[in-house]
Structure 1
Amino acid sequence: MSEEVTYAELKFQDSSETGNIQEFDQVGVKVYLTSKIEMEKLEKLQNFKDKLQSNVSLQLIYNMDNLKKIRNLSSTLQEMATKLCYELYRKEPEHKCKPCPKEWMWHKESCYGEFKKYETWQQSDVTCSYHNASLVKIKNKSVLEFIKSKKFYDYWLGLSPREDHKPKKDLDETIISSDWFTRNTSDLNGRMYCGYIYDSYVYYDFCTSRKNALCKKLANSVKIESILMNEEPDGRM
């Protein structure tokens, strides 16, 4: 019996190739470790950013809350100063805290000035404009009571000039009147009628007649420092 010989072909990897694989694996580990570290850094940065944004938001809320408190305090202080100034004004009409020009009367948020110049209605309207004011309009109870208490006689009012004559009317009846709207007065003529106050009544006369002017304008804000100072009233206009 003949003996059969079986050959087996064995292949061994080249040692240089094995080294390359190991080196590649090592590089892969390095890349993985580096990526993990960078990710951790990014995560920390993101957390820091979120925390910073949160702190900024809280600071803004805190600042806005403080600003609101300051505004409320300022408003309250201004209100108190105005009330105190009005009491001082009642005792001394030309007290330096008065928010109106010298010789003008103060009521609520407005200043009232009377000019005894005996002018036409149109001239009186110009006089008021010159002082950054307008002829008085009586549109609410507060102004009505103030005007009635002063007893004005022969003062033009800010009533719209009209072509027809109107009978006298009690001042109380004029509050809701649409006549207080003053239209364009550039076309006034000698046959038009304008309203004026005489005590507690409103009368109408030719707009070319001559009477006094009663003007009204917005009062300035009361200056708090002017209340704290005890100087004599100045002569400002």
Structure 2
Amino acid sequence: FKFVIITDLQKLTSNDVFITFIYRNFATIDGKMRKENVRFIESLRACRAYKVAQLSHYGYHTAMGSNNAKEAKIDLLVSESNLSKNSSYFRYHYGWYEKDVYVMPFVPKDRFQVKTDFSLRKRKALATGTLTYPIDDENFTSFFGGRILQPMRKEIYANSELVKEKCDSFISDASEHKREGGAPVKKWRGYNRFSGGVLWEIKKRARLALYILRI
């Protein structure tokens, strides 16, 4: 493929597909929309491409994310589960969306290979992942009865010593890390945050392009 950088959504046509993310583009952790978010949504609304939004972490200020996705005229929502079928919380907040959520499952990279027959492996679980930031959204907390997006992951993380005979935990906490000899600090502090979308043009010889939005 030849990569072509496209920085203007209005240059896309109905033969293009644009992929973006609900989290940080249509909804934010603190529930505040920045000027960059507003401009992006307005530009996306006018864009002629087929628009796809990934729902990872859509629990952050769900109503805001839903309203902005509707405003941007998103055509298809994607997640690791068909939330239209499996989540009453999603159906309530995304009532305008009348399609199935397209399922895009997690797939391990090629570096993960089977080298030991299953019958010969240890009878022990392995827990990985990151505890993301608590959710301060009344819609979420009133429905789920708490602020934690991954309660099982939190329990394993908090009780790693207690369960170590049965489970090796490699779970980390996104909100803090230890400085050498110091107190926990915010992991994301001082970093520039970017959100990206992928565009591709559907022709005989497909052209792959990247669109990067800084927020």
Give TM class, smaller chain. Answer: under 0.3
TM-score by length of 2: 0.23
Larger Rg: 1
Which has more strand, going by share of residues? 2
Using the size of structure 1 for normalisation, the TM-score is 0.21
Higher helix share: 1
